[in-house]
Amino acid sequence: MDKKKTIIIWENGRQTKLNINDNDTSKESHEVKRELAASLQESENGQIPTFSRPNTNKYKENSNKQQKYTFLKPVIFAVLSAIIIGTILGVIMLRMFVTMGEDSPATGETITPIMDTEEENTNDENEAVSETISENHESISAFVLQAGVFSEESNANEWASDYYRAGLPGVIWERDNQYFLLVGLTNSKEQAMQLAADLEKDGFETFIKEWKTNGSEIELTNTEHAWLHDFHEHWYMYFNSLNEQTVLSGNEWKDLITAYPEASEKLSTISQEIIRLQKEMDESDKVETQNILLELWKQYEYVF
């Protein structure tokens, strides 16, 4: 006897039982078998499994929920990060303000700074000294007696030695790659002519020439500019004394030496020349005074 098998299927929302013979080869049986290929057969204990078509709408809902959560993840992460960072910064700022409040004076108290007047004055003086400015300085002009002009310094020194042994000191002044031997100085051409005539009687031949150092711009500190201006005034005071009966001594230069800015390097040659000639100023006559003024004038020109 053929054994029958019973299975349950869902069709159009209704439960249906089907009996299947093992030897049933009909077309309908084969079609049912193909349709029920995925169905489970009745178990040996007689229980009949129930099959149903999966609910595709449920899968779609789950998929939509997953997509929604995936989109919200970056937003949630950004919000949480902002909250954490804001909290940390808030705590740091709060501690800073608390610390500042502890260090600040109590309400109503004021702090009066203690100023050192001497230190302020020293700083102001240092700033004034260190400030460098460019300024035009006064020119110097006079009539000189020129004993010769040479292209070689050695020749100029030889002639200067001859004049010195004869009692007429001279100054060798380099200009434009030439060496001028100057032996006299006056403030007018008439005086220069008279002096040249006197020297000619003694056997010295000289040539009258107007000599000038033009004032030019030089970069110095305020203190250096002031000192150079004082030197110019002292020089002319000494120069004008040549027309008087008495010649000034070296004491008039002491204040200038004392006021010299020690940090200055550009004016050091003038200062050193004043110091060297100061003793000679006390014992000099008019001829020697002319020589001293020529030496100082030369150093003044070399500064520019």
Q: What is the pLDDT of residues 153-175, one digit of tens each?
A: 999 999 999 988 888 889 999 99
Q: Which residue has the higher pLDDT, 214 or 57?
A: 214
Confidence label for 59 from pLDDT (cuts 50, 70 and 90): very low
The answer on pLDDT for 79 being more than 70 is yes
Residue 51 confidence (pLDDT): 45
pLDDT value of position 223: 92
Which amino acid, residue 170? G
Return the pLDDT at 41.
45
Q: Which of 251, 304, 260, 1 is nearest to 135 (CA)?
A: 304
- Topology (CATH level 3) of domain 137-303: Alpha-Beta Plaits (3.30.70)
Contacts of 131 (CB under 8 A, 6+ apart): 221, 222
Confidence of residue 298 (pLDDT cuts 50, 70, 90): very high
The amino acid sitting at 25 is: T
Q: Does the pLDDT at position 212 exceed 80?
A: yes
Q: Give the span between the Cα atoms of 64 and 62, in whole angstroms.
A: 5
Model pLDDT, residue 71: 64
Q: Which residue has the higher pLDDT, 112 or 70?
A: 70
Could you tell me which residues come within 8 angstroms of residue 181 by beta carbon, excluding any fewer than 6 positions away? Answer: 146, 147, 148, 149, 150, 156, 159, 160, 163, 170, 171, 172
- Higher-pLDDT residue of 265 and 1 is 265
Q: How far apart are CA 186 and CA 181, in angstroms?
A: 15
Q: Long-range contacts for 72-79 (Cβ within 8 Å, ≥24 apart)?
A: none
For 43, the 3-state DSSP assignment is coil
- Is residue 10 classed as helix, strand or coil in its secondary structure? strand
* Residue 126 clears pLDDT 60, i.e. is over it: no
CB 188 within 8 A of CB 141: no
Tell me: the pLDDT tens digits for 13-39? 666 666 655 554 454 555 544 554 444
Candidate ranges 10-19, 77-86, 89-98, 234-243; pick with highest mean pLDDT: 234-243
Rounded Cα–Cα distance for residues 39 and 84 (Å): 56
Task: Give me the residues paired with residue 144 across strands.
Answer: 185, 209
Q: What is the rounded distance in angstroms from the CA atom of residue 44 to the CA atom of residue 108?
A: 100
pLDDT computed for residue 12 by the predictor: 58
Confidence of residue 5 (pLDDT cuts 50, 70, 90): low
Of the given ranges (22-31, 91-100, 189-198), which has the lowest mean pLDDT?
22-31
**b/e burial code for range 68-83 (CB count within 10 A of at least 16 → b):** eeeeeeeeeeeeeeee
Q: What share of the chain in percent tops pLDDT 90?
A: 30
Res 257 pLDDT > 60: yes
Query: pTM above 0.85?
Result: no
Q: pLDDT at residue 230 above 90?
A: yes
The predicted pLDDT at position 236 comes to: 92
- Predicted pLDDT at 197: 93
